[in-house]
Chain A
């Protein structure tokens, strides 16, 4: 068979004569399910899909171990066709360290949220970065404890309403947010540090690019790589699903700035 494929023509001048169904499989190769159980509008599936696509594109799947923290995203550890090592809340970087040191030929990626990595386990990621541990840590930052139902985390921005800061995060009552990517970038052991988002096609494309660079940094043995991804949580933010991408840009994204904060290989002339 040759020639262009044309999708079937569906009349739109009346109600459909059959229920909607998938006409193609858009599920990425390393994801087992075509639908997720997280809330509508959640950004985490987009971020995880981007990560899986990056692993696939770099042909690293047969040497990758994903170390999962505890959060909404943990549900996905069940549905990925990469090896998964489940860690405790906050503790993925040390578990990843042990796996990498024991098997240096593997590619080790942690998947954690801001509650997991910044609130519960801050010292773990900082020490792993300072050690120059040759792993990749991915932080899904929605500025809220999504899984417990929308509570304040260490990354919640000032003014953000959560169930435990109902009038908005107040600097006197609750302290100020930790901007983790900025903190990690200051450590000498960190080789690649980027902050991105998944609230538009453009930001998703930049997220993919950052993930590819981070994994390539690890593959080259160049040191610790870190990608922070701002993700939508309309449920935890108490905003309409369709409003969440704009809310991300105006609130979370206005404090946790996106960009490549550090890339020592670029400074050395290694092309991105």
Chain B
């Protein structure tokens, strides 16, 4: 018998486009990428992803667990991932707060895992990029702008997780989960991933070389002294440094060549910033936009280059100012960096209307242009 295993994407004609809300498209993308284990606990706006996985995963021989809490959801995903089964979990930022202890140690146990954050607004940037847990670790973080991009990036998240044996966080929000788009979820062939000969199957027991998957060490010392945490933590830190060095940052840029003011935004607001900048360009204002697609690694070089050419950099986020720190670190004083975002005004707390308003964004960008342009 074998486990659920990695299923190679089948070579088939690209499926027809179908109108799907983001949760369903993300679920289909996860399954297309080989995900065969999912565990979650309901919470808006993550709930529908769990619903879709519960409906779809059994049809492909996978398992979807109704975990009794976020603590158990991440625990179950941890156990499945340790057997080499492509696994994912997720929640909103609040639920992910509960998971942070495990997410920190899963990283130090060097396990691949995809973690969805269907966030409320954008207040979880620090949680995702700095890690809300303890110790020295980093997650890769990807922030799709819309459903179409999410279908590709979610699949690449599984490949990155398998390649680097490290959790990858996909940052979404209420809009991404609930916006319906006509999309085609075609499996992407990402090329080979390293063999998962580290995965537990039970079979190495009794051989004298029984495997270990642990955040305390990568191999059994087989002595009576025990784990050397200093050796393990240093090895993990070296691995993390290599990952952050070698994973290429992704960024979308537009109209930057002669821009006096560059507006930076990630995720859904990136689309609204793009629209506001384009309409200001039509009126002759020299503005451009830059959207980090990967939040970790942060596209610091691209932001720095834009900062050197511009008179000012503006950052829009639906929070009290988080990514603006990374923008300032990248620009390093080459231009003033202004925060033009703000906390969501949505009384439901879900981070939806009335915040994302192209007219409002235009006014805030124009204010920066008038002072620096």
Contacts and interface: CB of A to CB of B under 8 A. Distances in A.
A63 B79 contact: no
B220 A79 contact: yes
A85 B200 CA distance: 8
A64 interface: yes
Interface residues of A: mostly helix, strand, loop or mixed?
A: mixed
Chain A, interface residues (CB within 8 Å), range = 35 or more
Interface in B225-265: 225-227
A1 B204 CA distance: 35
- Most chain A Cβ neighbours within 10 Å, of B87, B109, B206, B208: B206
Contact of B201 (A77, A80, A106): A106
Contact of B85 (A33, A78, A96, A103): A103
B213 A84 contact: yes
B214 A94 contact: no
A123 B68 contact: yes
Contact of B205 (A33, A75, A82, A100): A82
A189 to B, nearest CB: 13
Contacts of A36: 224
Interface string B25-56: 00000000000110100000000000000000
A75 B82 CA distance: 20
Interface string A131-159: 00000000000000000000000000000
A95 B202 contact: no
A100 B206 contact: no
B366 interface: no
B213 A86 contact: yes
A91 B79 CA distance: 10
B69 A98 contact: no
Query: Chain B contact residues (Cβ within 8 angstroms of A): what range?
Result: 35 or more
Interface string A89-110: 0010111111111111111000
Interface stretch (B70-78, B142-150, B182-190, B346-354): B70-78
Interface string A63-76: 11101000000110
A96 B204 CA distance: 18
Given A95-B76, A106-B201, A101 B213 contact: no
A81 interface: yes
Contacts of B73: 94
B113 to A, nearest CB: 11
Contacts of B109: 86
B223 A85 contact: no
B353 to A, nearest CB: 37
B224 A98 contact: no
A37 B200 contact: no
Nearest to A82: B205
B358 interface: no
B1 to A, nearest CB: 4
A101 B69 contact: no
A102 B3 contact: yes
Given A77-B212, A82-B210, A91-B102, A105 B205 contact: no
Given A91-B102, A105-B1, A80 B210 contact: yes
A238 to B, nearest CB: 26
Contact of B227 (A32, A78, A82): A78
A260 B213 CA distance: 33
A37 B224 contact: yes
Nearest to A32: B222
B80 A98 contact: yes
Contact of B226 (A37, A83, A93): A37
B235 to A, nearest CB: 16
A30 B202 CA distance: 13
Nearest to A130: B68
Interface of A: 29-30, 32-33, 35-37, 61-65, 67, 74-75, 77-88, 91, 93-107, 123-124, 127
15 contacts: A30-B205, A36-B224, A63-B202, A83-B200, A84-B212, A84-B220, A85-B79, A86-B212, A86-B213, A86-B214, A86-B215, A87-B78, A88-B105, A101-B79, A127-B68
